[in-house]
Structure 1
């Protein structure tokens, strides 16, 4: 039995060392890791994850837009519901935030995300069906059946990426569907039979599709996304119809949207403005790669963006919520993947409870077992309880030790001076006071025996 805390460790009677203050050292398996799903992430966290992965910003936008467009094209070809599209895009964004672009092909990741979303939303499709649909969309002149042999190898890749996607989302299949709430909000604001309500809803619905080409679905709630889409649609419609219909009805529409938003306290105004600015960045930078971009002029989005930025400056509100400038300029923490043939002992982690309970699962051969916990509070309690058994306790002692001073060299001893000692320097080195005290002295003799020290001496 181990002595109580505070007892001094000594030596037992048989010569064996006694137990330490916190018991004998226990050797066991690695405690493992806990992963809790995170439904929402701030903009600064998304940027840090992309920076840690070494992602190129220019290629990141291209891969993101092309991947979402591929999911949308295959979804329309297979006639899948829009909720499957929403789920697939959410999984695609989360997967790309956790893995480098060099570790996978963005097209394979997009199709694998759609494959997982089909299972989650009960619109089950085989992997070969999705691959065949993607091939037929790209090559409409040469359609291929799903049972063709060319899809055997890509099908295995899709199934392999499925496991990584499930680990990335933490087996948390909750997603958000803004289109369902958009119907109710537009009906509450405009009514069922209002003039122009169908055109307004068609524009807002297309904007919801464009919304998934940004990282907004992993940052904002459903109501925040819907209110941002409705207000931005009203602003764009008012700006486009200013010259044709006048400003009366469209200005009234924007006011009605604001009054409706004021009665709903389930969302934050800053979050809505950030979502609208994210959409405007998409429409300004990638005008032709969106559905709504073809409906309005580019100057319309630029003018709306300028007005929103002026409103932010007037209220001194930040562009992004929870922004940290110090975290943005910090050096990236590059992830070093472990080769499959590497020795596990060379990269073994110490037997201590990991400090971060929400560590990312990247399937890079890490030690321990990854467990997925849906309740973050339960994960924190488990971490605190189990962490007590992996603490290293130390006792500090201050010991005074007398050190023997080494004898001085021979030329510094007392007896060495009487025997002549060593070289002690000339009068110039000693600075003789009779010779001026300087390094060369100032004494020139008594006059008669003085010898010149001039140039020709």
Structure 2
């Protein structure tokens, strides 16, 4: 007796309704991305920081060349960071992706520019001695590449074209808490440059607009030493902002200034020691509060939100999925649809064990002929065939082959193992 495990699959719901077709994978927008997810998505990506900073620098230089507003720059950098997180590897050219993000941001913010204009401005910046116009035929291939990459960018954004703009709120807060004489000197220019530098980090993707704006104000006052009593006296809770979130934004920005000092706007205006001193002060406050930005707490680890991008996307641009993608803007409607369709798409498995009788066959006699008992022995002795043939059993002029010499149709050899013309007969 031997146990055998079997399983049955119930392909019907209630025994009447069959399973329907798969509705595909539902994709919804993600307004915020956690620091833990960013660490997982960027882990193992070669030269991630290098390409991220070079992409933002290219967007900024082309924006200044074409005279685009700051809001378009903020939107383009947001698109660029999300695209880099989705396609972390470098199967594509980073400058093509950065220019595509800027071109699509121009459409989003109603500052219309053609793809050839974006490509031409980038070329003229890199080649000051060879200035060209957008009508040049050399930009045709570059334009087609940007058009093809635009579809990938739209799918990465899940058709969510909104982007946060902390620069506008920062200006409002400056005018609210400081007088014109206080912010019109050295405070406002430093805060404005810092607002551009913050888009070289992932802070705008992680935090709200108010959090980023208040963090910029406090870090500007610490850096310039102006109006510290008024800025530090602001109660962040009155603006629905957590102090922990502000510390994380300032920590990210100070890491940028200390690690990539030459790639920032304020790097040429302030010495590195100034940023290091402020970073020491901020780190001391973080340690006193017992904050860790790089790991989940034990109470939240079991309720962590899912990552914004699927792990399969780490394969790069060449990766393709057979399942249909559906983009839904209303997250509650997506959950409601999944609850309705789940009973029709799930398979119910029932496993059980049964005992069956197996017939045991006797082992064959080892001394018996290998050909088996049912196969007759092949004849031996002289052949009585009528056809001669050439040596090798082929078809010769004398007829079907045996093993005699090539002859005139008589029998000149013996038949071997009952083979006639190369075939078996029994």
Aligned to 2:197: 210
Distance 1:102 1:143 in 2: 29
Aligned to 1:33: 25
Distance 1:175 1:198 in 2: 30
Is the counterpart of residue 390 in structure 1 residue 345 in structure 2?
yes
| Residues 202-241 of structure 1 mapped to structure 2, 5 A cutoff | 202-238=189-225
Counterpart pick for 1:159 among 147, 150, 175: 147
Judged with a 3 Å threshold, the aligned counterparts in structure 2 of structure 1 residues 393 and 285 are, in CA distance, closer, same or farther, namely same
Distance 1:84 1:237 in 2: 28
Counterpart pick for 2:184 among 197, 200, 216: 197
> Which stretch shows the higher mean deviation, 197-206 or 280-289?
197-206
Q: Please state whether the residue corresponding to 1:198 is helix, strand or coil.
A: coil
Aligned to 2:280: 306
Q: Please state whether the residue corresponding to 2:181 is helix, strand or coil.
A: coil
| Residues 76-115 of structure 1 mapped to structure 2, 5 A cutoff | 76-115=64-103
Give per-residue Cα distances to partners, 1:42-72, cap 9 Å, x unaligned.
1110111123xx412xx11111111001000
Q: Please state whether the residue corresponding to 1:101 is helix, strand or coil.
A: coil
**How far apart are residue 237 of structure 1 and its match?**
1.0
Is the counterpart of residue 257 in structure 1 residue 228 in structure 2?
no
Contact 2:18 2:344 (8 Å CA) reproduced: no
Q: Please state whether the residue corresponding to 2:27 is helix, strand or coil.
A: strand
**How far apart are residue 27 of structure 1 and its match?**
6.7
| Residues 2-151 of structure 1 mapped to structure 2, 5 A cutoff | 22-23=14-15, 26=18, 29-51=21-43, 54-56=44-46, 59-151=47-139
Aligned to 1:378: 333
**How far apart are residue 392 of structure 1 and its match?**
0.8
Distance 1:336 1:41 in 2: 17
Give per-residue Cα distances to partners, 1:99-147, cap 9 Å, x unaligned.
1333211100000000100000000100000000011111122210001
TM superposition score normalised by structure 1 = 0.70
Distance 2:259 2:350 in 1: 61
Distance 1:380 1:19 in 2: 23
Aligned to 1:4: none
Distance 2:11 2:206 in 1: 52
Distance 1:321 1:308 in 2: 19
**How far apart are residue 286 of structure 1 and its match?**
0.8
Distance 2:104 2:221 in 1: 35
Q: Please state whether the residue corresponding to 2:326 is helix, strand or coil.
A: strand
**How far apart are residue 405 of structure 1 and its match?**
10
Judged with a 3 Å threshold, the aligned counterparts in structure 2 of structure 1 residues 323 and 159 are, in CA distance, closer, same or farther, namely farther
Distance 2:71 2:361 in 1: 84
Contact 2:197 2:265 (8 Å CA) reproduced: yes
Distance 2:191 2:45 in 1: 32
TM superposition score normalised by structure 2 = 0.75
Structure 2 unaligned residues grouped into runs of 5+:
1-7, 303-309, 363-426
Distance 1:136 1:297 in 2: 32
Contact 1:189 1:256 (8 Å CA) reproduced: yes
Counterpart pick for 2:250 among 258, 269, 276: 276
Distance 2:318 2:158 in 1: 13
Q: Please state whether the residue corresponding to 1:171 is helix, strand or coil.
A: coil
**How far apart are residue 82 of structure 1 and its match?**
0.5
Judged with a 3 Å threshold, the aligned counterparts in structure 2 of structure 1 residues 394 and 262 are, in CA distance, closer, same or farther, namely closer
| Residues 391-410 of structure 1 mapped to structure 2, 5 A cutoff | 391-401=346-356
**How far apart are residue 314 of structure 1 and its match?**
1.4
Judged with a 3 Å threshold, the aligned counterparts in structure 2 of structure 1 residues 180 and 198 are, in CA distance, closer, same or farther, namely farther
Judged with a 3 Å threshold, the aligned counterparts in structure 2 of structure 1 residues 280 and 19 are, in CA distance, closer, same or farther, namely closer
Distance 2:11 2:149 in 1: 49
Give per-residue Cα distances to partners, 1:324-380, cap 9 Å, x unaligned.
8999xxxx9675759xxxxxxxxxxxxxxxxxxxxxxx7833123211111111111
Distance 2:11 2:42 in 1: 48
**How far apart are residue 209 of structure 1 and its match?**
0.2
> Which stretch shows the higher mean deviation, 393-402 or 18-27?
18-27
Distance 1:173 1:261 in 2: 32
The structure with more strand, counted as a fraction of residues: 2
**How far apart are residue 291 of structure 1 and its match?**
0.4
